[in-house]
Structure 1
């Protein structure tokens, strides 16, 4: 099996346009001149269910349609949100199903009954029109034990956020319609949307407007589309790069634009419109995906998330505003805010983390001494927070090691990915730079076929020359220097006559932080991908020297 797979990989890598043209003929003609960022819309019906077995018959298979939306250097394609909107329009004119499922390309269905389970939730409410979407928590195959890189977010997923994949959406909700305005036998409700309303929201395609009218009005009595091949030209029209101009796509209709985390923003807009959502957990997991491993991929992903979430926080989509002026419940508002403040937390936590080494370096203190009564309050707060966090992980069925891995990774992510996200959005806000969409690399670990991993230690943190490692490397160096100087003073009694010097609280705080940053302590002396590159060490050393200089001046 492995040799056959390797052979297939080589065939794909060796394929070129000439080979495709010779073997595929006219079927591949549209791909010949296509460039990654500049090509016309391509729509291919790979499998037409109406011309083969019916879905209900044994061996039946649903429609399979390849869609590549038009791209042009002169038009912003809005990344994943733009792709999802193009797919939404194409599916509307070709099948117009009232329920949509979106799954990322690195995930697959693991439970054949998942659609049935989702339909039970979507159609099982007393008020069916208030069921906006059903989210399946992300699960991963071949993942590392105890989540060493803290990217599964299993505790956070207790909420009902739209996670961008593994989600069943009601098409009505995606079209930006509030539940109270949908007509399904409600007294006093308005009729079907007018032509002007549809024109304003969905643009000029008659087929798209007609399909939207059926969905919005709840009138699904129309004849199903039999010959989907006859709608290819219409599908190309609605997936063109300038189709959305002058419409509400990306604003009030479809996946929302304006943030790198289009999934969270879209889910928030659906909740703010008054829709409800549900979480679907099955055994076995409904979908399985691939989680990023290693330091660079993990921190890149968290930086992109934090950047997008902070963009939402400082925009007109702030959940506090939606809670006041729309239908976002206050509890939902608080839940979204816990995510949106990631980048702000990065800056605030850095200031707090710098305060401890500053006190050790300048022979000062800001925490209570062990002999003071206030020390018990400080200790109680520390124990209460960590105990509560620990209990959360136990309630989710996770191990003690998983709790510790996520705790230390939160400190690392806060001082690196979240911090850079804060400054990235800050620079964008004042007009000095633009945010860049960074794709997360998800690499599979290699195996020799007997379950033995070729990597020496796949759970160990890896590094590269990315700027995301500079601040946390500098923080690690600074704490090592600070605790060394502080210990020297305490041991050799150079602070006996100095009142207000650091106490056990400062030493415990510094030691606890270094324990959380242990992967970077090891990285300072590591080699290869397990060692921090010298370019990062040099830049971090300059930051530490600058901090020491400023501390001595005060």
Structure 2
């Protein structure tokens, strides 16, 4: 029985049945061809306007051919986390570094970032295999303070989620509504009711503290020395280890790190791609997990087994070529039912992207994506066995980073329970001048050239 389990695939690619949709697509295509033939037949009768219409409709027909060829065969991926856990023990599961990026405490209120971080800290995955890094390009003491307070709440929230198998890990969604039975599942015992109400009170107190800090700048005693007289566009690197799982507990709290990279007026910060590259280097020195998750500050994890689902795809490929990244589609909450403006991207995510999954893979959309670290490094293992001048020129002047890159390409990881040991070297690679003369942004890491990190790299 065990042999049968290990032989089963960790994921399957299943085609959708879309016969009716194909029929409509073919009918529309032939109608477009008939229209073009009609235009050509009477082209001499109507002159320039007719020619212009023919050119426009020809281009639309060509575009339509590309669209229907893309979404002709739609596929979905089914993953099997239970098979993964039967095949690989929790100790053998690979580590994952989770990146959360924020840039403005006004446009992106700290409570939103806090909920995203809390949802990641509580995912169903061994906590000693996780580390969460928050990049704050706004260099806001409010964001840092909110994360410190959130880490205190997380020490209660994560055990609560584990004990009662909570599926919605973001507190603001879990506690939405007054009736606790809506979010409690089948457990309605008196002990659960008491703990649920206690947890909701704790979360409301957290919200009050953060809101009070935002409204009145009333931050209770907290180590904010590094933020004194700080200009958000001109400041040194600020790196704080808010929490680390020193004991390496399986059911403890994952490590939490705050980072605000150095910014200077005479250095381009390269937008979010620059922030992601700094996160890659800093995490490479601290934890060096072989896989990295990129999440925007307003995109919480709405599936508690999200990491296990991704690992099924990343570890379950039987082909010679490894899967470079696993992109999860966005799901929007509180959207309009009819969505008249198309803000939920249904056509893009439900049809076009699933068609691309058949051809070459899902769209790279940035947020909600798991990456192989060695793919992001873009270097060959054979060329990086030793520290040499050529490799240092590409990676940068930090020999410690060079060694962590070599470890990553060989499949090795650093110990994630000693985050504070690498702070001094992490400050070096987070500096705004570190990338000068290197290959970062061109051949290594997230590529530059766009205000978003996904366009060029995708």
Q: 1:145 aligns with which of 337, 351, 359?
A: 337
Asked if residue 176 in structure 1 is aligned to residue 387 in structure 2, the reply is: no
Q: Which residue of 1 aligns with 2:231?
A: 35
| Helix, strand or coil at the partner of 1:198 | helix
- Which of residues 256, 260, 276 is equivalent to 2:447? 256
Residues in 1 aligned to 2:249 and 2:335: alpha-carbon distance in whole angstroms? 34
**2:385 corresponds to 1:192:** yes
Find 1:23's aligned residue among 208, 218, 221: 221
Residues 292-312 of structure 1: per-residue CA shift (max 9 Å, x gap):
xxxxxxxxxxxxxxxxxxxxx
User: Retained in 2: the 8 A contact 1:69–1:239?
Assistant: yes
Matches within 5 A, 1:118-267: 118-127=310-319, 130-157=322-349, 158=353, 159=356, 160-177=362-379, 181-182=380-381, 192=385, 195-216=388-409, 218-220=410-412, 224=415, 226-267=417-458
Flag structure 1 segments of 5+ consecutive residues without an equivalent: 184-189, 268-554
Cα 1:237–1:191 change in 2 (3 A) is closer
Question: Which one scores higher on RCO, CA 8 angstroms, separation ≥ 6?
Answer: 2
Residue by residue over 1:25-75, the C-alpha shift from the partner in whole angstroms, topping out at 9 and shown as x without a partner, is xx210011222111110111111111x4x242x3x1111111110111111
Deviations 1:62-105 (A, max 9, x none): 11111110111111101111111111111000000010001000
Q: After TM superposition, give the deviation of residue 3 of structure 1 in Å.
A: 7.8
From 73, 96, 99, the counterpart of 2:291: 99
Structure with the higher fraction of residues in strand conformation: 2
Matches within 5 A, 1:46-61: 46-50=242-246, 52=247, 54-56=248-250, 58=251, 60-61=252-253
Partners of 1:231 and 1:3 lie apart in 2 by: 35
Aligned residue for 2:172? Answer: none
d(CA) in 2 for partners of 1:219, 1:6? 41
| Higher share of residues assigned helix | 1
Kindly provide the CA deviation profile for residues 405-435 of structure 1, in whole angstroms up to 9, marking residues without a partner as x.
xxxxxxxxxxxxxxxxxxxxxxxxxxxxxxx
State how far apart, in whole Å, the 1-side matches of 2:336 and 2:328 are.
Answer: 21
Q: Does structure 2 retain, via aligned residues, the 8 Å contact 1:49–1:55?
A: yes
Q: 1:128 to 1:232 in 2, by over 3 A?
A: farther
- In structure 2, list runs of 5 or more residues that go unmatched: 1-200, 357-361
Q: Cα distance, 1:236 vs. partner?
A: 1.2
Relative distance call for 1:135 and 1:225 in structure 2 (3 A) is: closer
Runs of 4+ in 1 over 3 A off after TM superposition: 1-10
Cα distance in 1 between the residues matched to 2:439 and 2:234: 24
Cα-Cα RMSD: 2.4
Classify the secondary structure of the residue corresponding to 1:66. Answer: strand
How far apart, in 2, do the equivalents of 1:110 and 1:224 lie? Answer: 28
Q: 1:128 to 1:40 in 2, by over 3 A?
A: farther
Aligned length: 247
Cross-structure match for 1:44: 240
Partner of residue 89 from structure 1, selected from 278, 281, 302: 281
TM-score, length of structure 2 as denominator length: 0.50
